[in-house]
Amino acid sequence: MQAKPMGLSVDGGRDINDSLAILGGLSTNTAEDESNFDAYIGPQVYGPITQGIDLNTQLLLHFNKNSYAAGETKAYVEFNAGIRAWITQRVEAHVLAGSNGEHSIFTFGARFHATDKAVFSVASKNNGLYGPQLQLSVRYQFK
């Protein structure tokens, strides 16, 4: 069995206060068409349910080119909600479900906080555009 990277994604966020952040990102799927992309921006609201378990919700505005159909550009809104649970001091599990109006969205995975600034994660993701994907990511805080 052979696997190859099928896309690239760059995401970021900025905390506004203890329970609100602004998120943004850009992704592409080179297996579909090299000229496609999906860009998004929007707020994320989050807070604790119990000690070690957090709830978050996102309302994202997407601008998409060529992911639904060749030559088609589309704007749409995505809403999702998720839970993050700390398994150990450095490992968290997360699940997220939502909709973009036409497709359901689902993600589950785990993150390892190697240091205070570096986080490695693996997730199974279906964002409604590119189908099921295995996502490997690295996050670094520049503060």
In this predicted model, what pLDDT tens digit does every residue of 62-101 receive, in sequence order? 998 876 666 788 899 999 999 999 999 999 999 999 998 8
pTM of the model: 0.83
Is beta strand 91-99 parallel, antiparallel or unpaired with respect to 20-29? unpaired
Domain containing 17 equals 7-140
Q: Is residue 114 situated within a structural domain?
A: yes
Q: Is residue 109 situated within a structural domain?
A: yes
In this predicted model, what pLDDT tens digit does every residue of 16-58 receive, in sequence order? 999 999 999 998 876 666 678 889 999 999 999 999 999 999 9
Q: Is residue 125 situated within a structural domain?
A: yes
In this predicted model, what pLDDT tens digit does every residue of 101-123 receive, in sequence order? 888 999 999 999 999 899 999 99
Q: Is residue 71 situated within a structural domain?
A: yes
Q: Is residue 1 situated within a structural domain?
A: no
Question: Which burial class, exposed, middle or buried, applies to 111 when counting CB atoms under 10 A from its CB (0-12, 13-18, 19+)?
Answer: buried
Q: Is residue 72 situated within a structural domain?
A: yes
The pair of three-digit structure tokens given for residue 81, joined into one six-digit string: 């909600």
CATH number, domain with residue 63: 2.40.160
In three-state secondary structure terms, 136 is strand
The whole-number pLDDT of residue 73 equals 86
Q: Is residue 2 situated within a structural domain?
A: no
Count of domains observed in the chain: 1
